[in-house]
Amino acid sequence: MEGKQTVAYSLELGPIRPPSEAYSLLIRVTRNCPWNRCKFCRTYKGEKFQLRSVEEIKQDIKTAKLIRDKIKELSWKSGYGGRVKEIAGMMLNNSPNEAFYNVALWLYADGESVFLQDANSLIMRTDELAEVIRFLRETFPDIKRITSYARSKTAAKKRLGELIKLREAGLSRLHIGLESGYDPLLQYMDKGVTAAEHIKGGRNVVESGISLSEYVILGLGGKEMWREHATQTARVLNEIDPDFIRVRTLTINNRMPLYDEIENGNFIRATDEEILEEERLLIEHLECHSNYVSDHITNLLQEIEGKLPQDKGKMLASIDRFQALSPEERANFRIGRRFGIYSHLDDLYDLHRRQAVEQVAHRLGQGSNQIDDKTIYTLMEGFI
C-alpha cells in the first residue's frame, strides 16, 4: 500500500457504538454527551459536548468515500476485479490508521449500515441532521440503514413532523437508553428524564416510522428497588411498544459516579441470581410486541431472546433451566460466563470448557472452587 498517501486520510471517530452496529461505518456528528450526568456511565465523563458543523461532517463522509475508493483501487491492482471484501479483510490486520480500519471493517461486512455518533445526534437542528443524512445517502447509494443514539427527552421535544422529516431523509433507527421506567430510580441515577418523558419520546419515534431500540439496564435497581425497576420499566415499554428491547447488566468501575455510592453503602448491588429474578419479573410484565434482545456480554443468559409476546414462555424457560441447576453448576456457569468461556447453558456440558472453568475457579478460589460476588463483579469490569 502507498503508506504516505493513505495515512493522510483521516476522519473523526467517537468512543462507542451499540453492539448491533459493530460493522457499521461510524460518522461522528456530535462530540460526547449533552447530559453526561448519569451515575452508571463513564464514557464521556470529563469531556465537553460539542456540535459539529454540517461541513465538518460532510468532509468526513467524503473522506470515508476516498478511503472506500482507495480500497477498491487496490482491489483492481491486486487482481480482485474491484471486489472490496478480500482487500478490506487484509487491511483489518494492516490498517494505516483508525479511519482506514473503520471503513475496511464496514466494507468487509458488505458496507450496508452507518451509525451516527455520539450520544445524542437528535439534538442537532432537524434540517441540519436531515442534510447530513441525505448527503450520506447520496454519497453511498448502497446504504440500507442509518442509525444513531438519542435521548428520550430530546425525542419528546421534537415535533412529530421533524422526526418524519428525518425518516424521509433516510434515518432508519434510533437507539435510546431507557435504562429504567421507575421515576425514583431515574432520579437517583441522575438520568435527567422521567418515565412520562420516556413514553412521550418513544411514542414520537414509533409514530414517525423510525425503528426504535430501547435499552434496559438489568440490576440498576440494586437490592432495594429491583421490583419497582422491573415492573415500572415493563409498564413504560408496554406504552412505547418499541421494535427492540435490548438488555444490559449493570457493570461498575471506579470511573463511574455510582462506584462512590457503592463504596459509601448507599447502593447495594444485586447478584447474578437476583438479577435473573428481576429479569423474570420484567419479562412477565411485558405485554408489548417487541423483539427482546440480549446482545451484550455482560448478560448472564444471552439466550434469553425472542419476539414478544409469543416467545415469552421460551424466554422464561431459560431462566427456569438455570435456576434448576445445582448450586455448584450455577457457580460454575457464572464463572465461565465472566471469563468468556461459556456463551450458553449448553456449554456446561462441553467437557473441555467445563474443565477449563473448574481450573479457573480452583485458582481464583485458592483451592476451594468458591468465588465471592466481589470477584465476579471485578471480572465483569473487563467487559466495559
Question: Is the predicted pLDDT of residue 29 greater than 90, yes or no?
Answer: yes
Q: Is 285 exposed, middle or buried (0-12, 13-18, 19+ CB in 10 A)?
A: middle
pLDDT at 370: 67
277-300 pLDDT, tens per residue? 999 999 999 999 999 999 999 999
Mean pLDDT, range 102-127, rounded to an integer: 97
CA distance 14 to 115: 11
Mean pLDDT, range 8-24, rounded to an integer: 92
Average pLDDT of every residue of the chain: 94
Taking alpha carbons only, the member of 138, 141, 128 closest to residue 57 is: 128
CA distance 147 to 117: 9
217-234 pLDDT, tens per residue? 999 999 999 999 999 999
CA distance 206 to 174: 10
165-221 pLDDT, tens per residue? 999 999 999 999 999 999 999 999 999 999 999 999 999 999 999 999 999 999 999
| Cβ–Cβ < 8 Å for 52, 61 | no
Q: Which domains does the chain have, with CATH numbers?
A: 1-144 (no CATH), 151-157+171-324 (3.30.750.200), 327-384 (no CATH)
Please, which pLDDT band fits residue 365 given cuts at 50, 70 and 90? confident
